[in-house]
Amino acid sequence: MAQLKTTFAGLTLNNPIIVSSSGLTDSPEKIKKLEEAGAGAVVLKSVFEEQITLQAGAMHGYGTPEADDYLNAYIRSHTLNEHISLIEETKKACAIPVIASINCYSDNEWTDFAKLMEKAGADALEINILSLQTEKDYIPGSFEQRHINILRHVKKEVHIPVIMKLGSNLTNPVFLIDQLYANGADAVVLFNRFYQPDIDIDNFTFGSTNRMSTEQELADRLRWTAIASATVPQLDYAISGGIHNGKGLIKAILAGACATEICSAIYQNGPETIKAMLNELTEWMNSKGFHTLTQFKAKMNAKAAGEINPFERTQFMKYYSNYTE
């Protein structure tokens, strides 16, 4: 009988499905239902750095620096206390690992939040550094260095595992992943999703498109997980984005992931999709004679691919050489 247990960032999970940070994980009641549906762990809805900054900035202008500082501290404390309460109440209600989450863009004084989250009982902390680099005078490499600086500062504050969730807008994710490993990261998640902008041509307004992931997005995650897990095998990896069924879950593990972060599939099909994915994974493992995930994890990453690596440019030449004009 297939055993679905896995380890990710030092945490023991009953299975490789983690529900990612979203409105699905913003209350203990919702998280309890996800646990009952079979989730192996959850990432709590994030504390957003810019939300705190904007709220605090909107309250400035009360006449004295002391008043502004007091309001700033109050808003930061109130926002953080909501997240601390979410951690504490979820830990009381659920037995699965609870991962706190900070969505940030700067290396700032917010890093002291991490210590309070650990004290509240979080089993791990996911840091999500989501930012587009659009400055004309941008210094190449500075965005990657910001990831490293933030990680270093957070690691000084906490002893729980620290997970880095990366965006896909990196020149060389493997270089950054190697540096994150060298600076104490316990795991990496590939990738965060930017909500893509759209333009309404009738009303001249801005909107967004593709709020939910699609199965087509999985290919890019498989590519980089397969390459990174072969190049920096000491780290644990999770794939986030594009997994909508058990087949996607299986592919993620074959590429080298220990776990997956699921969100859109649950929004679209309900928590019962977790059980369906796990059933498909179990049936596939039984059919292939695998008893544990480790027996096939990274079985098809870049190291296993040989000289003609399907995850890099050489496969492009091989594919198109079969076609003639």
Count of Cβ atoms closer than 10 Å to residue 311 Cβ: 19
Q: Please tell me the predicted confidence (pLDDT) of residue 256.
A: 98
Q: Which residues contact 144 (CB under 8 A, 6 or more apart)?
A: 170, 175, 176, 179
pLDDT computed for residue 67 by the predictor: 42
**Of the candidates 145, 32, 16, 13, which has an alpha carbon nearest to the alpha carbon of residue 93?**
32
Question: Model's pTM, two decimal places?
Answer: 0.89
Q: What secondary structure letter does DSSP report for 215?
A: G
- Closest to 156 in 3D by CA, of 212, 107, 100: 107
Question: How confident is the model at residue 277, as a pLDDT?
Answer: 98
- pLDDT score recorded for residue 266: 98
pLDDT in tens, the chain (325 residues): 899 999 999 999 999 999 999 999 999 999 999 999 999 999 999 988 766 555 444 434 434 444 444 345 545 666 778 889 999 999 999 999 999 999 887 777 677 788 989 999 999 999 998 777 778 887 888 989 999 999 999 999 999 999 999 998 898 999 999 999 999 999 999 999 877 788 999 999 998 877 789 999 999 999 999 999 999 999 999 999 999 999 999 999 999 999 999 999 999 999 999 999 999 999 999 999 999 999 999 999 999 877 667 777 655 555 555 555 5
- Measuring CA to CA, which residue among 113, 111, 107, 174 is closest to residue 142? 107
What is the model's pLDDT at position 56? 41
Tokens coding 143: 């965005």
Domains of the chain: which residue ranges?
A: 6-320
Partners of 11 in the β-ladder: 8
Q: How far apart are CA 27 and CA 87, in angstroms?
A: 9
Q: If you classify domain 6-320 with CATH, what class do you get?
A: alpha beta
